[in-house]
Structure 1
Amino acid sequence: MSQWTDGLPPAAHERIARQHASGTTGSLFSAPAAAAAKSAGLAPVGEVFGSIAMNLGWSGNGCNYYGMRMGGGMGGFGGGLLGGNAFGYQTPVTTSGDHGGYAGFAPYVKAFEHGWHEAINRMLAEARMLGAEGVVGVEVTRVRIDASAYEFTAIGTAVRSVDTSLVARPKVQGEIWYANLSAEDVASAIHSGFQPREMALGLSVSTKHEDYQLKQQRSAWAGNQEIDGLTLLVNAARHDARNQLVARAKRDGGADLVITHQSVTEFETPCGEEVDLHAEAVFIGTILVPGPMRDFRTKDRPATAKVTTVLPLTDNDVRTRRR
């Protein structure tokens, strides 16, 4: 880490130096994407990349009962901790946001969020050194590289505004907007009076101990029926993750939030001779704010908008003779 400068490793500085020395501008744009960016007053200045390796563990001893007890709240659990599999007894669903920062999967979620945001921050540091003002088509990925170690990477095309009547430059020097929208979608937003500000992440892990009812419904001989506990588990994770995403957008003053990704994965962990079931929900979106075209688009009501008369470039006689 001591060899890093400007928040970037030596490899990143080498990439930037090569781009400057080459005199060419790289991008990840397709031909249609490049045309769309140009129509919105954006010019590419280079590809940018950020990476970080994180260990994603989780706190607790592998059993949701004790995790809830350590978190200082019961999450509606009630009853005794040892009666979870009594006939007819239903254990509650808790989420990583229920008990503060130390119970259940809360530390895992915080580590995930740190890796996700830090990969983006390092990508933005590269963009800043290239003189960019925004990054389009950002892709953030997570890949397991060892046991509980993951690499988070962020990649996109850095751009600069060449027409401030379409895209406003950042008010703070060095501030860079970024979006995981395609160049075509960014152009559509800009022409509609909006421009990207930043991406937002909503992440939650919900947990439910496998009670008697859930165990029976999951068995092979249970027949075709809803598994009530799993429905609650997935819905809780989705609800919590989406709420976090919306709260982030409101906190950052977004005018609109475009949800671009949502996913839910399920897994289980041992709890003595029983298991805890978990659902991980991830929501990602791009926050949009009013742009320079906003006033133009909302100046006139649609019913009274002033329209320039379109005149033919050839006279009627010429067009008549060609028929």
Structure 2
Amino acid sequence: MFGCIAMNVGWTGTGCGGYGGGGVGGGLGGQWGGSSGGWGTPGFAGTWISPVLTTGGGWSAFGDYVRAYESAWHEAVHRMLLEAAQLGAEGVVGVQVARTRITEGAWEFSALGTAVRVVDASLVGHDPERRVWAADLSAEDVAAAIHSGRRPGGIAFGLAVSTKHEDTQLRMQRTSWTGTEVEGLTAVLHASRTAARARITASAGRHGGGTLVITGMGTREFETPCGERETDVHAETAVQGTVLVPTPRAAFRTTDRPGTAHVLSVLPVTDRRRPEEPR
């Protein structure tokens, strides 16, 4: 199964990341929540320590970028599920979502996976809305989850970007010849990962909650110029996982009632049976 969307993903910022008007708002245009707000805090020998500002997904700077990225990511998965629904599938397993640059500002988000049908419907219960679920777990892992009384509810995703202006302390620690922790970078990376985990938790809630199985998390660090000679440092974290929700059989799957390996069947792309046809 395949779904894709081309999206213009960019960011617009004004000024430097360290000059905010408070813990929320200011900074790179608003909708930021940082570990420090306003103009930062005093550091060693009176040096100024810039705050760490993290996107909240609003209409500003990297907030616009986060919103566009997440929207395109979920839309690619949604279009893949629409194709799977035409085959009469219950779900799509082994889903991989990729981002490929097309032009300077445009990216293609694509979702690819294998459509499956649950052989024994009693294991997952009846869904009158016939919603197709997605999982970035393997077919074997999904089968094991179904036998334990849980089925995939969908794929959750979270993205966050944190920013810190390169203050004097950060500059000195980054250029030190000794083994010194770069505290500013540590703070930026930690803030980005914390915010991304919060966003994927919210995303999981939209799939009915349940158990969130994290399958991947990646963080990249990059820099942008601020003025003529200064720099902002950024950390972007993306995290994804599969939501597993309880099935009606959850209370009855015990060690004295082991399941079998015959749970899922892979659907060929030529299978055009309507959902209402007998299986």
Q: TM-score higher than 0.5 here?
A: yes
2:116 paired with 1:154: no
Query: Residue 7 of structure 2: which of 33, 47, 54 is its match?
Result: 54
Tell me how far apart the structure 2 counterparts of residues 153 and 73 of structure 1 sit (CA, whole Å).
Answer: 29
Deviation at 1:69, TM superposition (A): 6.7
Map 1:31-70 → 2, pairs under 5 A: 48-61=1-14, 63-64=16-17, 65=19, 68=27, 70=29
Which residue in 2 is equivalent to 1:178?
134
Contact 1:136 1:178 in 2 (8 A): yes
1:83-118 C-alpha deviation (Å, 9 max, x unpaired) = 99x962110101111xx6123300000000111011
Instruction: Tell me which amino acid in the other structure corresponds to 2:54.
Output: T
Task: Structure 1 unaligned segments of length 5 or more: list them.
Answer: 1-47, 308-323
Tell me how far apart the structure 2 counterparts of residues 185 and 235 of structure 1 sit (CA, whole Å).
Answer: 30
Instruction: Tell me which amino acid in the other structure corresponds to 2:154.
Output: E
Instruction: Tell me which amino acid in the other structure corresponds to 1:59.
Output: T
Distance change in 2, residues 1:69/1:63 (3 Å): closer
Which residue in 2 is equivalent to 1:135?
92
Q: TM-score, normalised by structure 1?
A: 0.71
Query: Residue 123 of structure 2: which of 142, 147, 166 is its match?
Result: 166
SS in 2 for 1:258: strand
Which residue in 2 is equivalent to 1:111?
68
Moved more, 71-80 or 150-159: 71-80
SS in 1 for 2:136: coil
1:105-144 C-alpha deviation (Å, 9 max, x unpaired) = 0000000011101101110111111121211111101112
Tell me how far apart the structure 1 counterparts of residues 51 and 79 of structure 2 sit (CA, whole Å).
Answer: 40
Q: Which structure has the greater CA radius of gyration?
A: 1
Which residue in 2 is equivalent to 1:265?
220
2:53 paired with 1:94: yes
Contact 1:51 1:151 in 2 (8 A): yes
2:187 paired with 1:227: no
Which residue in 2 is equivalent to 1:208?
164
Which residue in 1 is equivalent to 2:37?
77
Task: Structure 2 unaligned segments of length 5 or more: list them.
Answer: 21-25, 259-279
Distance change in 2, residues 1:274/1:185 (3 Å): same
SS in 2 for 1:214: helix
Tell me how far apart the structure 2 counterparts of residues 245 and 275 of structure 1 sit (CA, whole Å).
Answer: 29
Q: Percent identity?
A: 54
1:179-233 C-alpha deviation (Å, 9 max, x unpaired) = 00001110110111111010000110000000000011111x4321110000000
Which residue in 2 is equivalent to 1:286?
242
Contact 1:133 1:170 in 2 (8 A): no
Tell me how far apart the structure 2 counterparts of residues 62 and 269 of structure 1 sit (CA, whole Å).
Answer: 11
Contact 1:161 1:169 in 2 (8 A): no
Deviation at 1:55, TM superposition (A): 1.3
Instruction: Tell me which amino acid in the other structure corresponds to 2:9.
Output: L
Q: Give the alignment's Cα RMSD to 1 decimal.
A: 2.5
Query: Residue 101 of structure 2: which of 120, 131, 144 is its match?
Result: 144
Moved more, 63-72 or 87-96: 63-72
Contact 2:13 2:28 in 1 (8 A): no
2:200 paired with 1:245: yes
Instruction: Tell me which amino acid in the other structure corresponds to 2:106.
Output: A
Distance change in 2, residues 1:119/1:69 (3 Å): closer
Judging by fraction of residues, say which structure has more helix: 1
Judging by fraction of residues, say which structure has more strand: 2
SS in 2 for 1:244: helix
Tell me how far apart the structure 1 counterparts of residues 13 and 257 of structure 2 sit (CA, whole Å).
Answer: 65
SS in 2 for 1:270: strand
SS in 2 for 1:119: helix
SS in 1 for 2:61: coil
Contact 1:87 1:212 in 2 (8 A): no
Contact 2:160 2:236 in 1 (8 A): yes
Tell me how far apart the structure 2 counterparts of residues 112 and 264 of structure 1 sit (CA, whole Å).
Answer: 15
Deviation at 1:74, TM superposition (A): 8.0
Distance change in 2, residues 1:306/1:291 (3 Å): closer
Query: Residue 149 of structure 2: which of 185, 193, 209 is its match?
Result: 193
Instruction: Tell me which amino acid in the other structure corresponds to 1:147.
Output: E
